[in-house]
Amino acid sequence: MMSSVGDTVSGDSQRLSPADDVSGSCRAAVTSEAAWSRSVMAERGLLVLFGSQTGTAQDVAERVGREARRRHLRCRVQALDSCDLANLIHEPLVVFVCATTGQGDPPDNMKMFWRFLFRKNLPASSLCQLDYAVLGLGDSSYPKFNFIAKKLHKRLLQLGGSPLLPVALGDDQHDLGPDAVVDPWLVALWDKILALYPLPPGLEIISPDVRLPPKYTLHYLPEDSPHPESDLLQPAAPQAAPCELHPFAARVVSNQRVTAPSHFQDVRLIEFDIAGSGITFRAGDVAMIQPQNCPEDVQQFCQLLRLEPHRRFVLEPTEPGTSLPPLLPQPCSIQYLVTHYLDISCVPRRSFFELLAYFSTNELEREKLQEFSSAQGQEELYSYCNRPRRTTLEVLWDFPHATCAIPADYLLDLIPRIRPRAFSIASSMLARPERMQILVAVVRYKTRLSKPRRGLCSTWLASLNPEQGDVRVPLWVKTGGMKFPADPATPVIMIGPGTGVAPFRAAIQERVALGCRGNRQPWGTLSALLLFQQTGASGCHRELSVLRLPTPVQGLLLPDRVGRAGDKGLPDTLHRLLQGPGGEGLCPAPHPGEREAGVGAAEQ
């Protein structure tokens, strides 16, 4: 399917000559060649808008921006929600790069744009002056594959926009990933754009062998300049509700391991003090945590790149219209930049190797880096980097000649920022208004690399010890996709197929706080229990202890009603659980042919 998309995109692209373009448009009215040239230069602007959840769409959008600059186009790259939507009607040329998340949902940084675009009162000719192209990034293993890109393309057409190309649908399931579609689509896109906006006389496309200037320039400050370190190390309490740009520095109250020391999975119950933050949440909502790199990795990174951690700098954009990174203080120290901003523990993308190749003075290194950044070298890049989950810091160790030659100005072009991590809130605000709890499974696994892989955020959170001083974590709350009934009397059956116990724990606390204590039992009217990941009754009892429920609830768990997620007999176990004692249950026995479908429906 993906190859057909690429063929459609490529086949639809027929490059026009500048003469054909001028004679077939309003530019034909321009009689002076000099005036026409000035008009073309003024119009040769491109806006690249992205909606990205994990950073892939943003990475592709930045790639479009780099290729635009090689064609002497004035280019701005920004998130959809940071775009002034009122000015969109005046934009002549826009490229949209958007991912699809969850079950056909838009990424967080395009939700405001999404709501605005689908307002019913928008005139049908709102975007009649707009030439646009849409590139979608998705995963064909999900039912609503690239739903956002398809719907965006359709809506832009309804509002009068003119598509340069058919919508392109990148697929993460393809052997070559989204690049299988992105590469040919970009070739077709530039043919179309250069037909509409030819290169000015005397200019040629900048060769890929030429390194483009960085997005920002670092200006070091004198070493004796004053600097309040506290402003850099801890975000201040915001005036309004905390958000990604203004997180709240929550104090860690407790950090307790809730699994046995001998158990393979380290799970932490972490409690935060959110008094005075303005944060509100309900069961099903999500805590967004902004993690940081560990001190050992920060030290190694600075040594590799020969950076002085305590040197302070200010950033200056190299091109007009480029905004400064919103989460980076000005002025800033190298230590803060590497600790809190640069994601040196992420698996680097293809664009990382493309830029790194420019800095290597070693021919063998440069050839290998160029291979990793080429379309033909993606399988080898996957084997070297993605499959073993090799980090950016480890890659820099492997290419020492390039690493030691990286100018500090290119750090923000080379390495993406640390993205926040989401954790389901595991407590109820009704029970404890000034506290918030999360359950964190510490990520640790082995690959073919000798060093175990560790999750950046979970490892950092597990290391925090509030007994050793004032420990702060930047966080904010996002509305979750899991909705519980507003009426506490509504019966609820909670099934967590691999999703964890946290939201259910919050819901139970919420109902207890609302007074759900039927039958004179302290555990209320809760009569449905959960199936957990552990094997056997003892495992389930250990998991139930995380809920902090009284003993009578745990006593309801019968030995023959214990199942492990993924077991072959799970449908029958689930049915017996719902039946209750005596065989009189909440649902009839499923037909043998319906059992697997029923489990699948529950998992979705």
Binding residues for NADP(+): 499
Q: State CA 98 to chain mean position distance.
A: 12
Q: Determine whether 266 is exposed, middle or buried from the number of CB atoms within 10 Å of its CB (0-12, 13-18, 19+).
A: middle
Tell me the residue length of the chain: 604
d(CA 77, CA 89): 17
Phi and psi at residue 362, to the nearest 5°: -100, 125
Nearest to 441 by CA among 250, 305, 268, 263: 268
Binding residues for FMN: 52-57, 99-102, 137-146, 172
d(CA 362, CA 402): 8
Phi and psi at residue 34, to the nearest 5°: -65, -45
Binding residues: 52-57, 99-102, 137-146, 172, 389, 421-424, 455-458, 499
What residues contact 329, with CB distance under 8 A and at least 6 apart?
231, 232, 336
- Sequence-distant contacts of 510-513: CB under 8 A, at least 24 apart: 510/282, 510/283, 510/428, 510/430, 510/431, 510/484, 512/428, 512/431, 513/428, 513/430, 513/431
Phi and psi at residue 88, to the nearest 5°: -65, -30
Please check whether residue 449 is in contact with residue 211, taking contact to mean a CB–CB distance below 8 angstroms. no
The distance in angstroms from the start CA to the end CA of the chain is 25
Which one-letter DSSP state was computed for residue 367? Answer: H
d(CA 132, CA 141): 28
Look at strands 332-333 and 216-220 and give their pairing: unpaired
Binding residues for FAD: 389, 421-424, 455-458
